[in-house]
Structure 1
Amino acid sequence: MKDDVEKQPRLKLEQYIGMQIRRQRQAQDLKITDVARIARISQGMLSKIENAQVSTSLETLSRLCDVLGMPMSKLFSQYDQQGGGALLVKADEGMEVVRRGTEKGHTYHLLNHTRGPKKNFEAYMVSMDDASEEFPTFSHPGTEFIHLLQGELIYRHGNQLYPMQAGDSLTFDGEVPHGPEKLVQVPIRLLSIMNYGQD
């Protein structure tokens, strides 16, 4: 049985996304130049996305899905179903996405890909290597859980400050403004899970 698994290697997310976008574009007989223009990206970038040569932001993927008339949930739905009902994301293979704070030297890797109208949670691995003095403030629906894996920081939630060291966890209401107040010891790696609940 192990040999059967090895004969059918799982596509990396970038490969799967590129394949889905290319298939959808070709099925509608759309030229790559036209799709890129309407999605407001360069033809070269779209070519790189289709050929899995680059990771791209969820915002760009959302625009591409709009152009192709494909819900974002459909883009990821079959990827989640490959090989059963579980989703394995290997170390360092989470899709890098752009969120507020990226320009401050923070990187976000999405560890799950169940997005769209029925998404109920998102999980990110967040890395912060630059002890910048300014930090973005976040606010979003649902509950957020963060677990600090490496480093030391002071985290703000509303008017409260929470000193955190490696191994510490914090759970809070996502609608209250929150974010890092001070990076005490870098590099910092933390797991962030946002639970949106059920409609």
Structure 2
Amino acid sequence: MTEQLKDIGARLSMLRESMGITPEKIAATLEVSPSEYLLYEAGEKDFSFSFLYNVAGVLGVDVVDIISGESPKLSLCSVVRAGGGYEINRRKAYDYKHLAFTFRNKKAEPFMVTVEPNGDTIPERHSHDGQEFNYMVAGCMDFFIGDMVYTLSEGDSVYFDSAVPHAMKTHDDAPAKFLAIVMK
């Protein structure tokens, strides 16, 4: 696994231990097995955004605190220039850029997400607390939520209960890009 995964896992372990939470208790809260949770802490299992969002909520920290290891410092405003953002590369098919990574006490987590083509593979669905708004910037993709599938193109948007398992898959072997705003 990558150094970023190992670093994130080490931060998870440190945060959990500092709060006096056992691996069994946090695993039960996150609805994963203790052995699966410990693979995350060891940096041996890749993180979905849903997992990171949920574990951040349990630990009472920002998602970016877990990913970067640096606490945000700003509370007035956060400016991210074109093409910028804190890059999160966890899985081959998804590229996330956090667009407010330096802002403290966010009520929402904004990301620019690029979904790369992944052949005919049906994506694994994930869920997390809160609500989410996705606005298509470029390309075309299928948006899977519950038993429904919606085809979204540039200019389309979807607002949904993110506790319902969801995933995205591109069309036409071309990348799709969307603005995702996750609200707590």
Q: Same fold (TM over 0.5)?
A: yes
Match of 1:127 in 2: 114
- The 8 Å contact of residues 155 and 164 in structure 1, kept in 2 or not, is answered as yes
Provide the TM-score with structure 2 as the length reference.
Answer: 0.60
Considering only aligned residues, what root-mean-square deviation do their CA atoms show, in Å? 3.2
Structure 1: unaligned runs, 5 residues or longer: 1-40, 46-55
* Pair 1:64–1:88, CA change in 2 (3 A): farther
Larger Rg: 1
Deviations 1:65-99 (A, max 9, x none): 749x7x85684332x24xxx11001122211124x
Number of residues of Structure 1 aligned to a counterpart in Structure 2? 133
- The 8 Å contact of residues 106 and 130 in structure 1, kept in 2 or not, is answered as no
Distance 1:128 1:86 in 2: 28
Q: Helix, strand or coil for the counterpart of 1:62?
A: helix
Structure 2: unaligned runs, 5 residues or longer: 19-59
- The 8 Å contact of residues 104 and 135 in structure 1, kept in 2 or not, is answered as no
Deviations 1:5-39 (A, max 9, x none): xxxxxxxxxxxxxxxxxxxxxxxxxxxxxxxxxxx
Q: Paired residue for 1:86, among 77, 93, 110?
A: 77
Match of 2:35 in 1: none
* Pair 1:63–1:189, CA change in 2 (3 A): same
Q: Helix, strand or coil for the counterpart of 2:71?
A: helix
- The 8 Å contact of residues 94 and 115 in structure 2, kept in 1 or not, is answered as yes
Provide the TM-score with structure 1 as the length reference.
Answer: 0.56
Match of 1:110 in 2: 98
Identical-pair percentage? 24
Q: Paired residue for 2:88, among 97, 100, 110?
A: 97
* Pair 1:63–1:173, CA change in 2 (3 A): closer
Amino acid of the residue matched to residue 59 of structure 1? Answer: I
Distance 1:154 1:107 in 2: 17
Distance 1:122 1:61 in 2: 23
Deviations 1:49-68 (A, max 9, x none): xxxxxxx468258359749x
- The 8 Å contact of residues 148 and 168 in structure 1, kept in 2 or not, is answered as yes
Aligned pair 1:59/2:11, yes or no? no
Q: Helix, strand or coil for the counterpart of 2:72?
A: helix
